[in-house]
Amino acid sequence: MYPNWLMQRVKMTPNRLALRFKDKSWTFLQLFDEVKDTAGKMKFSGINYGDRIAILSPSNSQLIVAIHACWQLGCEIVLLNERLSDEELTYQIEDAQPILVLTAEVYQDRVSTNKVMTLEKLSEQTSGPYSVEEEWPLNRTVSIMYTSGTSGRPKGVRQTVLNHTTNATASAFNIGIQPDDTWLCAMPIFHISGLSIVIRSVLYGMEVKLYEKFDLVPVVDDLVNGSITRMSVVSVMLDRILRELEKRDVNVSSRMLTMLVGGGPVPSNYLERAIARGIPILQTYGMTETASQTATLAPEDAFRKLGSSGKPLYLSFIRIEGGKKPFDEGEICIRGGHVTPGYIGHYESTSSQEHGWLFTGDIGYFDDEGYLYVVDRRSDLIISGGENIYPAEVENAILQHPMIREAGVCGMDDETWGQVPVAFIVSDVEISISSLQNFLQSKLASYKIPKILHQINEMPRNASNKLLRRELRTWLASKSNK
């Protein structure tokens, strides 16, 4: 058993600042008071211990309170990505089977179920009594996040008390904890990178300065004026921050201790520019199935181990399947208390581990000093602005077009987003990129919609008739070099 996260924190540091959002701030005690009131309203509204609740909301203080309130009632929360199309949202809600969807009023019309209540309506309810648990079982699922599988169907990943606590603890061993820490959170809470900051806040006794979305100018103001000490970003955000710092010709404050960069490799020129501006970069490797980071590169190794994701965190174990010696490439496998116990819905019967190991599908190797290098993110995976795009999911949507017989999708390098999706199709009629994009508008999030379309006579396939996406990437590379 572990202590009730927020209750334990209030016992330890009730008057320490917990959250800032826009012009309002909360101590841990004030946050807990609001959380308890909201939990009482949930109970009065018919939400019971152990229920599964889906939440669709922007990243704001109302969402933070709702998440903690659900946990006080022992509920599982399914965090829904507001950037998804209506069709994608419908799939995830039907797959998760929550007893209720809590949604911000602005998104109410996007939820195609009658089991819905707005957060605004919830705030008007009477607050009823409920019992608070002082201890939580380690194997309790507290959050569920969807991550696309290679089959094209998103998987609902379980994340337990043990998963989150192990990850936060291992991260603390790596970066250290200061009593005056403030973590700027501009990552969406429906991503593991955002939710992990919320959880670290309670476990560490750390203030979170929350942004509804990444807002460049005030974010850079915070970095320069010394009001924050930590931040998590993806490469495209880092580049925008660097451009703004360079435009102002200023460095970040010396109070800035850590900037975690995930969501794909960090270009070497970003690292050089970051160091020049005083940003302590920590490159990371992790995923939804590991409740955030599982390996991290220390700032002092940024140039010496350029391109590395660092070493496994203290409570993590990583091995390379098939790797006998340093530099042998193979599938990255992970073990530890931070690894998900499994999935829900369509993938409930799919095991997340083999003999205790999570097989990530990522290809990598260790060098002769034990530093991890990720060679390919699930070989076919496209990472665009830190968002994962699985070609199979996009192909499935394209093949719903009545005039398209075959489809293949791969990533193309892009200066702004890192990569963007490119589609290849086989069709008996000419189809324009704009008409395809219009067709996909209701089926896919905007970042998943292909930016370029190539019409070809035949898809490259192997003897088993499996699509060879690497051939598409090779063809694309040769075409761009001409």
Residues 263 and 322 occupy one common structural domain: yes
Mean of per-residue pLDDT scores for the chain: 92
d(CA 35, CA 28): 10
Q: Which residues of 121-134 are buried (b: 16+ CB within 10 A; e: fewer)?
A: ebeeeeeeebeebe
Question: Which of 205, 214, 203, 153 minimizes the C-alpha distance to 182?
Answer: 205
What integer pLDDT is reported at residue 462 of this predicted model?
Answer: 60
Residues 244 and 188 occupy one common structural domain: yes
Q: Which residues pair with 53 in a beta bridge?
A: 77, 100
Residues 371 and 415 occupy one common structural domain: no
Residues 109 and 182 occupy one common structural domain: no
Residues 191 and 311 occupy one common structural domain: yes
How far out from the chain centre does Cα 88 lie?
A: 17
Q: Are 319 and 333 in contact (CB under 8 A)?
A: yes
What integer pLDDT is reported at residue 16 of this predicted model?
Answer: 97
Residue 172 tokens, joined = 């603390």
Q: In which residue are the tokens 């609001």 written? A: 34
pLDDT grade, residue 464 (50/70/90)?
very low
Question: Which of 178, 169, 185 minimizes the C-alpha distance to 67?
Answer: 185
Query: What is the average per-residue pLDDT within 36-55?
Result: 96
Residues 44 and 119 occupy one common structural domain: yes
Spell out the alpha helix ranges (H) of 161-215: 161-175, 192-204
**Residue 358: inside a domain:** no
**Residue 359: inside a domain:** no
pLDDT grade, residue 386 (50/70/90)?
confident
For 207-254, the pLDDT digits (tens) are: 999 999 999 999 999 999 999 999 999 888 898 999 999 999 999 999
pLDDT grade, residue 265 (50/70/90)?
low
* Domain's final residue, options 90, 112, 136: 136
**Residue 448: inside a domain:** yes
- Residue 302: which CATH number? 3.40.50.12780
Question: Which of 255, 473, 382, 290 minimizes the C-alpha distance to 309?
Answer: 290
**Residue 161: inside a domain:** no
Residues 272 and 202 occupy one common structural domain: yes
- Residue 456: which CATH number? 3.30.300.30
What integer pLDDT is reported at residue 434 of this predicted model?
Answer: 95
Q: List, as own/partner pairs, every contact residues 148-152 make where C-beta atoms lie below 8 angstroms and the sequence separation is at least 24, other chains included.
A: 148/388, 148/389, 148/390, 148/393, 149/347, 149/390, 149/392, 150/361, 150/378, 150/380, 150/390, 150/392, 151/392, 152/390, 152/392, 152/393, 152/394, 152/395, 152/396
In this structure, what are the phi and psi dihedrals at residue 275, rounded to the nearest 5 degrees? -65, -40
**Residue 261: inside a domain:** yes
**Residue 181: inside a domain:** yes
Q: Domain range holding 400?
A: 382-481
Q: Which residues pair with 481 in a beta bridge?
A: none
In this structure, what are the phi and psi dihedrals at residue 409, rounded to the nearest 5 degrees? -130, 135
Residues 330 and 417 occupy one common structural domain: no
Question: Which of 341, 302, 311, 344 minimizes the C-alpha distance to 140?
Answer: 341
How far out from the chain centre does Cα 137 lie?
A: 25
Residues 273 and 395 occupy one common structural domain: no
* Domain's final residue, options 85, 118, 136: 136
Residue 469 tokens, joined = 């996406």
d(CA 320, CA 365): 6
- Better pLDDT: 379 or 360: 360
Q: Strand (E) positions, 66-220?
A: 76-79, 100-103, 116-118, 135-136, 141-148, 154-160, 182-185, 207-210
pLDDT grade, residue 152 (50/70/90)?
low
For 269-286, the pLDDT digits (tens) are: 788 889 899 999 898 999
Q: Would you say residue 465 has pLDDT above 60? A: no
Q: How many domains does the chain have?
A: 3
For 71-103, the pLDDT digits (tens) are: 999 999 999 998 888 988 999 999 999 999 999
For 300-312, the pLDDT digits (tens) are: 787 788 778 999 9
Residues 211 and 301 occupy one common structural domain: yes
**CA 76 → CA 53, 116, 122, 472, distances in Å?**
6, 16, 18, 41
Query: What is the average per-residue pLDDT within 319-324?
Result: 93
- Residue 55: which CATH number? 3.40.50.980
Q: In which residue are the tokens 């809600």 written? A: 93
Query: What is the average per-residue pLDDT within 127-148?
Result: 93
**CA 33 → CA 10, 69, 248, 255, 262, distances in Å?**
10, 10, 42, 31, 34
CB neighbour list of residue 253: distance below 8 Å, 6 or more residues apart: 223, 224, 225, 226, 278
What is the model's pTM?
A: 0.85
d(CA 384, CA 406): 24
Query: What is the average per-residue pLDDT within 290-315?
Result: 88
What integer pLDDT is reported at residue 439 of this predicted model?
Answer: 96
Q: Are 141 and 80 in contact (CB under 8 A)?
A: no
**Residue 188: inside a domain:** yes
Most confidently modeled of 125-134, 164-173, 382-391?
A: 164-173
Q: Are 420 and 414 in contact (CB under 8 A)?
A: yes
Q: Would you say residue 150 has pLDDT above 50? A: no
* Domain's final residue, options 326, 347, 376: 376
Q: Would you say residue 453 has pLDDT above 90? A: yes
Residues 50 and 128 occupy one common structural domain: yes
Q: Which amino acid is at 312?
A: P
**Residue 191: inside a domain:** yes
- Most distant CA atoms of the chain, gap in Å: 70
Residues 10 and 106 occupy one common structural domain: yes
